Chains A and B, each alone.
Chain A
Amino acid sequence: MTRQTRQLRVNSLARVEGEGALRVVIEDGAVQSAELHIYEPPRFFEAFLRGRQHTEPPDITSRICGICPVAYVTTACQAIEAACQVEITEDIAELRRLLYCGEWISSHALHMYFLHIPDFLGYPDVIELAGDHRAAVERGLRLKQAGNAILEMVGGRANHPVNPCLGGFHRATTSASLAELSRQLQQALDDALATVEFVATFDFPDRELDAILLAVHHADRYAIDSGEVRSSDGHNFSASEFANHSTEFQVPHSTALHAALDGRSYLTGPLARYTLNSGQLSPLAREAATAGGLGPTCRNPFRSIVIRAVETVYAIEEALRLIAEYRPPDPPAIPVAPRSGSGCGVTEAPRGLLYHRYQLDSDGMIRTAAIVPPTSQNLAVIERDLRDVVAANTSMDDAALIALCERTIRNYDPCISCSAHFLDLTVVRR
């Protein structure tokens, strides 16, 4: 009897950030392998950071990702400030958190409305979606604009911000300009609540992801810009211990490294943050989550869009709180004198935990740099989820199975530019 062989191929997966390929091999109805091939050309940031001054990584690493530059800027600052044993003031930390909220709002709005909602409603893109759902798309655009308004006001530019620097900011944003922002954010809060209601009505396939979840945890608030690392299997450690637990390894089919937590694959991002920290969301965000059908934890990757909507509500409320309590930092930046040593930083980029580590010499020149983006950490779990999804749906025809694979990948909002970058999907059936 001959073996049954089918081969499917899609050359480029759309509505993800970056370039990659998926290869699935099915033999006699059983999944042999599911590999996410990432052929985003490597850009070698960690190599050319060596020999740069300690003040440079915030601006340089910002260019790793055009979707979450604030995550890179903030994490680089945190790591180098730790290496130089400098503590920033509470006022500077609050302004950084406000800037980071802007990135969450803008990035989540982008992913939900431009990349993800079209999947649930059966449209190829947001422009076609706008033909039938103009009001919803305009709401998404307003939300994104509100996030960008924070980025521009506090960061000096919507992308690759110019105002943040090592130790704080070049110039403290004025209270008057933030007061103007609050009016726009009030409208955005209504838009975010409407978004939770909207996405909660979608049809979510049943899935329960059995994976270790890892997120930053802060004692007092839903972690974004700082905290310790926690996992669903009881890990609890500081940024400086991250490399002792999470190890990166290379697989032949990817220019992005993969990662494991004490030898086991794990997931970061909205599912992890929500499951580990949902109790710390604001009352309004928790209420919205409950109304949106979420319990205290969530392990269904298809529902990650509801979590992003809830987190958008939270980030807007948090931005409004930070503006209401704002004290312009004076001085706007703490001087960071160079010092021989090493330092680490962890923050929650919109797509998950981001880690930076720098080793400096006594003149502050960088000797080594290590950066672990969220998507690298998530790749092993994404591949496993794909494998499970394919295994459970081998009876589907090729087009339907490919569409389901693409949706599965988009659930994780992979940022391949960060991890190394287009998705090219190949399914081989033998």
Chain B
Amino acid sequence: MTELPTLAVWKFASCDGCQLTLLDCEDELLTLAGQVKIAHFLEASSSPEPGPYDLSLVEGSITTRQDEQRIRQVREWSKALVTIGACATSGGIQALRNFGDVDEFRRAVYASPQYIDTLTTSTPISSHVPVDFELRGCPIDKRQLIEVISAFLIGRRPDIPDTSVCSECKRRGLTCVMVADGTPCLGPVTHAGCGALCPAVGRGCYGCFGPMTGANLPALSSQLRQCGMTEGAIDRVYATFNVTAFRRPGADR
């Protein structure tokens, strides 16, 4: 009998939401468990097994010196390493510190800031080690997660389209919220994957999957201005869940 491939799940600075997406695959979870050995997943299991692992899923960004070391170790143990979610792929919302004063942040939140050991930046996994694939989203989409795991186990490229949210919106037959209602929307520059969830409830996309390849931000910014957004508001909407990937040069955050 051939041995099952091994899967490991790792957490760095994050909210836990992307690794929980794996547990949200209720219909697929037990089937998946028959196809792979979940060898390391602390959130779900108290019997972690030592590496090497065939596939590591990494959630979260690097914000401490210890984690800078830990991610190198994870890379060594992993044949393939896939980042899951905005924190691991672009540094996440906590990367807002990269453009602020971390000492001041520490003082604002903690009475005794000297106890708090943190780096001044929140950086994506790819800034530290080679990454085999980056899955976008804040949080990731569970169908895309299953696709990525299946693809890596079979040994093919994942089928994750690098188009914009607009393409998904059109495919769903939704009316464009920006054209029809003048609602500001980041859909034209945002990486597809969510299935156009926000336009489906009549709201503009807020970019939680980060920029698509070749996103034309200047063109969208002028459209956002026409929708009545101030420069400050435009800076803020880019500087949220994927701030390091979307942020405009010269923005005050």
Q: Which residues of A contact B (CB under 8 A)?
A: 12, 14-19, 40-44, 46-48, 50-53, 56, 59-60, 63-67, 69, 110, 114-115, 118, 124-128, 130, 134, 137-138, 141-142, 144-145, 148, 156-160, 162-163, 165, 169-171, 249-250, 252, 255, 257, 406, 417, 421-422
Contacts and interface: CB of A to CB of B under 8 A. Distances in A.
A250 B138 contact: no
B139 interface: yes
B198 interface: yes
Contact of A47 (B67, B108, B203): B108
Given A44-B109, A160-B208, A127 B45 contact: yes
A145 B26 contact: yes
A250 B115 contact: yes
A137 B30 CA distance: 9
Given A15-B46, A41-B67, A125-B45, A159 B13 contact: no
Given A44-B94, A159-B17, A160-B138, A170 B203 contact: yes
B11 A148 contact: no
Contacts of B15: 63-66, 69, 417
A118 B200 CA distance: 39
Contacts of A124: 45-47
Interface residues of B, number: 66
B29 A44 contact: no
Contact of B45 (A15, A17, A63): A15
Contacts of B206: 59
Given A53-B233, A127-B45, A170-B203, A160 B17 contact: yes
29 contacts: A14-B47, A14-B48, A42-B116, A43-B13, A44-B105, A44-B108, A56-B236, A59-B206, A63-B17, A64-B15, A66-B15, A66-B16, A66-B18, A66-B139, A114-B23, A126-B45, A127-B30, A130-B30, A141-B27, A156-B197, A157-B139, A159-B21, A163-B203, A170-B202, A255-B116, A417-B14, A417-B15, A417-B16, A422-B11
B44 A63 contact: no
Contacts of A47: 97, 100, 104-105, 108-109
Nearest to B47: A124
B20 interface: yes
Nearest to B252: A51
A184 to B, nearest CB: 12
B203 A66 contact: no
Interface string B136-180: 001100100000000000000000000000000000000000000
A29 B33 CA distance: 43
Given A47-B105, A48-B100, 11 more contacts: A14-B42, A44-B108, A46-B109, A47-B104, A60-B240, A66-B14, A67-B17, A114-B44, A145-B27, A158-B142, A252-B115
Interface-central residue, B15, B43, B200, by most chain A CB under 10 Å: B15
A128 B33 CA distance: 10
Given A52-B236, A141-B29, A69 B197 contact: no
A14 B202 contact: no
Contacts of A18: 16
Q: Which of B14, B64, B122 has the most C-beta atoms of chain A within 10 angstroms of its own C-beta?
A: B14
**In the A-B complex, the 6 residue pairs with the closest CB atoms:** A66-B17, A125-B45, A124-B47, A14-B46, A47-B105, A66-B15
Contacts of A163: 201, 203
Interface string B50-78: 00000000000001100100000000000
B33 A127 contact: yes
B96 interface: yes
Given A118-B46, A250-B110, A422-B42, A42 B236 contact: no
A366 B81 CA distance: 39
A42 B109 contact: yes
Contacts of B213: none
A114 B9 CA distance: 15
B38 interface: yes
Nearest to A172: B201
Contacts of B222: none
Instruction: Name, among B43, B46, B102, B105, the residue most crowded by chain A CB atoms within 10 Å (CB to CB).
Output: B46
Contacts of B67: 41
A47 B102 CA distance: 9
A138 B109 CA distance: 42
B118 interface: yes
A205 B18 CA distance: 35
B248 interface: no
